[in-house]
Every structure is written in C-alpha cells, then in structure tokens.
Structure 1
Amino acid sequence: MDTIRTGMPLLARHEGEWVGEYIHVDANNVELDRHASHLQCMFKDEGPYPYYQINTYSWPDGRREEIHFPATYKDKQIWWDTDRIFGRAWEVDDKTVMLTWTRKDSPGTYLYEMIQLSEDGNDRGRTWHWFENDKLVKRTCITERRVK
C-alpha cells in the first residue's frame, strides 16, 4: 500500500517545526512585506488528512495570523482544498518539492512554490511566484530552520 511516507519520502523529511522569515517583493523586487514564521508540518496515521500543516505568521507591529492546511494524499501528491486555497504538491527529486495552488479569495491568481531541503534536513529555502492573469506580480522568498 502506498502511504504518504513511502510515496513522498522527501516530504516526510519535512516533518517537524520550522521558524523563518518571509520576504515579499513585487515584480520589480521592491520589498512589500517582511514577517516571521513558525510552521508545523505533521503526518497523521488516523483521520481524513494524512498531512496537516499549521502556519503562524507574526509581524513586528504585533499582528499575528494562524492558518491551518489539512491535505489529502493521492497518486504521490498531497492535495489541499481549504476555504483559502486549492492546490497540490509533488516531489521533483531528492531535494525539491514543488507546489501549485490558487487563492479562492482572488480569482485569476495562482502561485508556484519550490522548496529545497538541505542534505542534513535542518534548513530549507522556499520561493513563491505569484501570478495574476498570467502576469508575474510578486515573489516570496523564505528561509527556514528546523527547531523541532
């Protein structure tokens, strides 16, 4: 039986807690936003969502946002269909996970993300490309370190 851990062994290496920083820039690389992040990547043996991620963002002015991303697993991919996004992730090679998703609150917008995991599994770099009506409008650069 193909389980998420056997079908996506690289993704399984992301299990744990990560802290980092998100930097959003526009298409001309002008900084739009910068904030701290804490992500929890969990694999569940029971229930409808074998993958569950909680993203907590915090800004220097005290704002805070927590978002839950439960995902199903099928055909060596994880799939999200939440009130916020619809998308999927798949492994490209032994270091790279790709994602694509649409924002349900923003018709015509879609994103692609690439995640690179270090050999020791303790650091990762992520980049997002935001498109609106097929035009690149923003990028997000994320650096993270495993803390648990």
Structure 2
Amino acid sequence: MSGIREGMPVLARHAGEWEGDYIHVDPDNNVIDRHRSRLQCQFPDEGPYAYYQINTYIWDDGRKEEIHFPATYRDGQIWWDTDRIDGRAWEIDPRTVCLTWTRKDMPGAYLYEMIQLSEDGNKRARTWHWFENDTLFRRTCITERRVA
C-alpha cells in the first residue's frame, strides 16, 4: 500500500459509497443545474492508483453520466491527471479536505473544492468555486450521506 491511509487519515474516512444532491448556481445564486449523485470512494490494495473515485450523476430527465477519477499519492496529497481533470487534494484539519483542479475541456478555468466530513463520518458537505480567467462564474453546493 502507498501509505495513503496513514498520510491522509481524513480522506481515508471517506471510503465507501455516498449519495447526494448537486446544486449549481451562478454568481447571483440562480440555480443553473441540479442533479443527484452516487460516488464510490475506493483505496485499492493493488494497482497503480492509491485512490479511485467513481462519480455517477443522474438528472430527473433521465440523463446519466459516470466519470472515473483515479489518483496517485505522493507528498501527503492525492494527484489526478485524467482525460477530464488535472489536480490535487490535501487535508487542512481533522474534518476538511481541499482540492484544486483544472478541467482539460475548459481552457482558462480552474476550481477549488472544500469537503467537510461530519464527526460520525456519515455526512459530508462540499462546495466548489469555479473560475474562468480569474472570475467566479459558478458555485456548486453538494450534500451527501454515506450509504455503504
């Protein structure tokens, strides 16, 4: 094992499956998208990735999207470099993980995310701030509960 569970104990507490709701708003807090989610957070014992996340998004109109986010672990952080994103995550206190990443399909855009995990480890709240050319253009608010 890569030492990720010891090096990132807060992230390790996220292992399992989560269901929730994503609400995307513009800078004036007008809702621009809303959908349900199911996330799987895994720490494989073997293979090239120390962390593997699968996000499934479901809209009320029947659309569905599944995205895989494999990550490596080094220097006390996890690092992504996928077809979709390039970024990293680190812990800042006993309940909080921060992320920053760029979307490869959105030149000039970058995001920051903060994840707060409840003390019992069964609820979490996440916020994303989306910037394009250093201007905020979207926020995403996510509430989730552990289901497995």
Verify the 8 A CA contact 2:2 2:50 in the aligned structure 1: no
In the alignment, which residue of structure 2 is the partner of 1:114?
114
- The equivalent of 1:89 in structure 2 is 89
C-alpha contact 2:2 2:73 (8 A) present in aligned 1: no
Distance 1:47 1:123 in 2: 29
Q: Which amino acid aligns with 2:70?
A: P
- 1:64-91 Cα shifts (integer Å, max 9, x gaps): 0000000000011000000000000000
Residue in 2 that maps onto 1:138: 138
Q: Equivalents in 1 of 2:33, 2:105: separation in Å? A: 19
The one-letter amino acid of 2:34's match is: R
Structure 2 unmatched runs, 5+: none
Q: Does residue 1:13 correspond to 2:30, yes or no?
A: no
The one-letter code matched in structure 2 to 1:122 is N
Q: For the residues of structure 1 that align with 2:137 and 2:59, how far apart are their CA atoms?
A: 22
Q: 2: distance between equivalents of 1:27 and 1:82?
A: 28
Partners of 1:2 and 1:147 lie apart in 2 by 26
User: Alpha-carbon deviation of 1:45?
Assistant: 1.3
CA shift in 2, pair 1:39/1:2, >3 Å: closer
1:88 maps to a residue whose letter is R
SS in 2 for 1:44: coil
Secondary structure in 2 aligned to 1:5? helix
Q: Summarize the alignment of residues 1-148 of structure 1 with structure 2, pairs less than 5 Å apart.
A: 3-148=3-148
Counterpart Cα distance in 2 of 1:76 and 1:39: 23
Computed over aligned residues only, the root mean square deviation of the Cα atoms, in angstroms, reads: 0.9
The one-letter code sitting in structure 2 at the alignment partner of 1:78 is I
Distance 2:17 2:27 in 1: 30
TM superposition shift of 1:2: 6.4
Separation (CA, whole Å) in 2 of partners of 1:38 and 1:2? 26
Deviation per CA, 1:83-133, whole angstroms, max 9, x where unpaired? 000000000000000000000001100000000000000000000000000
Q: 1:2 to 1:69 in 2, by over 3 A?
A: closer
Equivalents in 2 of 1:123, 1:2: separation in Å? Answer: 26
